[in-house]
Amino acid sequence: MSQLERLLLMAEDELTQYSTDARKIEKLRRKIGISVSRKEQEEVKEALKAQMSTGQLSKIVEEQRQTVALPFWGIAGLGLLLGIAMLQPLDLIATVAGGFAAIKIQQWGWQLQAQRLLLNTLEDIEQRMKNPS
């Protein structure tokens, strides 16, 4: 597992905590400071910047992943309802497809949020190194 993947897992772990972004950055900053050298932090930051997409769709999914996935959850629920009520197995395909799409959109949004949190944390560490006050 590369350093970037390990740090992304740490960022995803911080996303599970119900707290402010500043608190998440503070907790993640301590973990990164203990386990990653300064040179590796710079390498991870550059790799992360190169990896992050800047498209409009990815920005929307990052900020509103649940809202974007909601119509697909609706398709899955409607397909399940119609498939069971009318005994039409073809409608159950909509359930599987809608559920799969909704889950993948939410996973993608979660990963984008973790990348953004990690990038913000690395930038915070760099800023604190320049201005220690």
Quick: pLDDT tens for 50-92: 888 788 998 999 999 999 999 999 999 988 888 888 777 778 8
Across the chain, what does the average pLDDT equal?
89
Are the C-beta atoms of 80 and 95 separated by less than 8 Å? yes
What is the model's pTM? 0.85
Q: Tell me which of 51 and 133 has the higher pLDDT.
A: 51
Q: What is the pLDDT of residue 52?
A: 84
Number of structural domains, the chain?
1
Quick: pLDDT tens for 115-129: 999 999 999 998 988
Residue 111 has pLDDT above 90, yes or no: yes
Are the C-beta atoms of 44 and 122 separated by less than 8 Å? yes
Name the residue range of residue 119's domain. 3-130
Instruction: Report percent pLDDT > 90 for the chain.
Output: 45
Cα–Cα separations (whole angstroms), residue 99 to 64, 90, 94: 18, 15, 8
